[in-house]
Amino acid sequence: MRSMLGTLVIAQEERFQLLDYDGVGHLFLLHYSSAVEPDQLPTLLHRPVRVFYRPATAKSIIGHAAVSIDLLDC
């Protein structure tokens, strides 16, 4: 499974944007079996995290499926 480091900068319902350490924003949607609940996303805003995800598989999908989010001790 792929992972990405960065900071959550936007959270809305099951969607969030991660700003990686290169300054690039990435859109994620919580996977249906995600260990994270939508109401937990606001508590992760502006904190360093690692997102484990499944990449988008269709060209018409612009967001990756986030399976889990780990808070980093930075």
Condensed to tens digits (0 to 9), the pLDDT of residues 11-52 reads: 999 999 999 999 999 999 999 999 899 999 999 999 999 999
For the residues 65-71, what does the mean pLDDT come to? 96
Reported as a pLDDT band with limits 50, 70 and 90, residue 74 is low
Comparing C-alpha atoms, which of 16, 19, 25, 17 is closest to residue 7? 19
Pairing mode, strands 15-20 and 2-12 = antiparallel
CA dist list (Å): 20 to 8, 9, 15, 33, 58: 9, 10, 16, 24, 22
Question: Is residue 53 over pLDDT 70?
Answer: yes
Instruction: Determine the structural domain holding residue 22 and report its residue range.
Output: 2-71
Q: Based on the structure, what is the number of domains in the chain?
A: 1
CATH number at residue 40: 2.40.50.140
- Confidence at residue 60, expressed as pLDDT on a 0 to 100 scale: 77
Q: Can you give the pTM of this predicted structure?
A: 0.91
